[in-house]
Amino acid sequence: MAEKNGQSGDGSTGSCVLHGKYELGRLLGHGTFAKVYHARNIQTGKSVAMKIVGKEKVIKVGMMEQVKREISVMKMVKHPNIVELHEVIASKSKIYFAMELVRGGELFSIVAKGRLKEEVARCYFQQLISAIDFCHSRGVYHRDLKPENLLLDDEGNLKVTDFGLSAFGEHLKQDGLLHTTCGTPAYVAPEVIGQKGYDGAKADLWSCGVILYVLLAGFLPFQDDNLVSMYRKIYRGDFKCPPWFSSEARRLITRLLDPNPSTRISISKVMESSWFKKSVPKSLKVSKEECEFDSLNVNGEQQEQETLNAFHIISLSQGFDLSPLFEEKRREEKKELRFATTKPAECVISKLEEVARAGKFDVKKSESKLRMQGQESGRKGKLAIAANIYAVAPSFLVVEVKKDGGDTLEYNQFCRKELRPALKDIVWTSPAESSLPLA
């Protein structure tokens, strides 16, 4: 069915519908193994980019594992500055990637017109580092960073794409290093060219350094018509910064393009550098969170505590346990936790507020709700946590705590290290289980 409703042999799609869900439109671009079309989700009306990969061609050149890896990686790395993968549909001969449609084109097309102003280059670089830091925190290394793989949306926000050459932490050999040579020559770190083991994070940072140089200069730091000569320059770190580079930019690029990976600057040090920290643009996501944060208890109105009936309790979660223990979810990140308590709502709110203040969170609260928001930005903006208190009976409450903004990994770490231990005294345990430790 998918084959019949997919693209026609000449590459045109007309008004063909894929799996009864996506209406395929015009061709946006194509590469050796894939074509990308504009498509519309018939159910939601939302536009997407539909990447269509021919299985036969991919299998023939032995790249099926690479395609599977790209799917796995894109499902893992959901970040404002990374192109989002909505879903994957497979047929007998094709694989369809429904991805976020990024309309602003490649960053390369802007740089091709000439160098960027320093504040504009900084804005793009900050977004790039934010995305790559997020990938590295998930054990994912891109390995093919270049301006052609950096897209811009309608509002000029940068989006990293093309994870076809990425690697997982699990691809590390026994020495803890990656060993596959890949990437685009002008952007590849010297240790990758040398075909020795390399640190994926440090290799990505070298590429980020080349990108920053290109944004500020308008040309590549290592250039030569002869590929071997260019590689020699890369090995030696043989480049010069143009006179218009500021001293801070020059210092940062020199540390990024250090040919010795062991002394090359780390991503945390990049983010601490004076050049990087200047005029950080406000994230739309963070602004939205702040708006929601301020609207929790408008005009000081008191909100009546919500009561749960049996159907509400069942709908809260599959396998919801009114026993005492926080739920655990193995092998994947959990975005909410629930517990029961016989303590009054004001006691729960007070305890949550105590935890929030200790963890440097700002707090908004009502009689049955509390929202805490971190004062510092994490990998995906400021961490925000919402708590809702539901009355099952006058003296028996269920408290639901969930991530309301920011990074899930940071949320899980906060819950495990700070929230759970602090709430242990107010969590209800049944007599039969009162001797059990809190999980």
pTM of the model: 0.61
Digit-coded pLDDT (tens) for 228-269 = 888 889 989 999 999 999 999 999 999 999 999 999 999 999
Q: What is the pLDDT of residues 148-191, one digit of tens each?
A: 889 999 888 999 987 655 444 444 444 444 434 445 688 888 88
Residue type, position 8, single letter: S
**Following DSSP, what letter does each residue of 362-382 receive, concatenated?**
EEEE-SSEEEEEEEEEEBTEE
**Residues 36/96, Cβ–Cβ less than 8 Å:** no
What residue spans of 118-263 are helical by DSSP H?
118-137, 190-193, 200-217, 227-236, 247-256
Give the integer Cα–Cα distance in Å for 282 and 261.
32
Q: Does 4 count as an annotated binding residue?
A: no
Give CA separation, 228 vs 152, 224, 309, 335, in Å.
33, 9, 73, 50
Greatest CA separation for the chain: 79
Q: Say whether 219 sits in a helix, a strand or coil.
A: coil
Q: How far apart are CA 47 and CA 100, in angstroms?
A: 8
Q: What ranges do the domains of the chain cover? A: 2-100, 107-277, 284-433
Is residue 13 within 8 A of residue 25, CB to CB? The reply is yes
Active-site annotation holder among 144, 162, 199, 404: 144
Distance CA 264, CA 270 (A): 10
Residue 234, amino acid: I
Q: How many C-beta neighbours within 10 Å does residue 302 have? A: 9
Which residue is associated with the tokens 């308590």? Answer: 341
Sorted by sequence, the CB contacts under 8 Å of residue 391 that are 6+ apart come out as 305, 306, 307, 308, 345, 397
Mapping DSSP onto H, E and C, the string for 3-19 reads: HHHCCCCCCCCCCCEEC
DSSP per residue, 267-288: HHHHHHSHHHHTTPPPPHHHHH
CATH 1.10.287.70 fits 107-277, yes or no: no
How many other C-beta atoms can be found within 10 angstroms of the C-beta atom of residue 339? Answer: 25
CATH number of this structure's domain 2-100: 3.30.200.20
| Residue 59 CB neighbour total at 10 angstroms | 11
Those residues with Cβ within 8 angstroms of residue 61's Cβ, 6 or more apart along the chain or in another chain? 33
Instruction: Give, rounded to a whole angstrom, the gap between the first and last alpha carbons of the chain.
Output: 48
293, 314, 107: which is closest to 214 by C-alpha? 107
Contact 172, 132 (CB under 8 A): no
Instruction: Please give the single-letter amino acid code of residue 106.
Output: E
Query: Per-residue confidence of the chain (439 residues) as pLDDT tens digits?
Result: 333 333 433 344 446 888 889 999 998 887 767 888 999 999 899 999 998 888 887 787 777 777 777 777 777 778 889 988 899 888 888 889 898 998 888 888 888 888 999 999 999 999 999 999 988 888 888 878 888 889 999 888 999 987 655 444 444 444 444 434 445 688 888 888 776 777 888 989 999 999 999 999 999 999 888 888 888 899 899 999 999 999 999 999 999 999 999 999 999 999 999 999 886 545 433 333 433 344 444 334 444 555 555 545 444 443 334 433 344 444 344 566 788 888 888 888 888 988 998 888 999 988 888 999 988 887 778 889 999 888 766 677 888 898 888 888 888 888 888 888 888 888 876 554 444 444 4
Helix (H) or strand (E) holding 90, with range, is strand 85-90
3 state DSSP class of 39 = strand
CA distance 295 to 293: 6
- Please choose, from the candidates 312, 340, 350, the residue with its C-alpha nearest in 3D space to the C-alpha of residue 400: 340
> Is 407 marked active-site?
no
Return the CATH number of 284-433, one of 3.40.50.300, 1.10.540.10, 3.30.310.80, 1.10.645.10. 3.30.310.80
CA–CA distance, 252 with 245 (Å, rounded to integer): 11
CB 91 within 8 A of CB 131: no
Regarding beta strands 47-54 and 34-41, do their DSSP bridges make them parallel or antiparallel, or are they unpaired? antiparallel
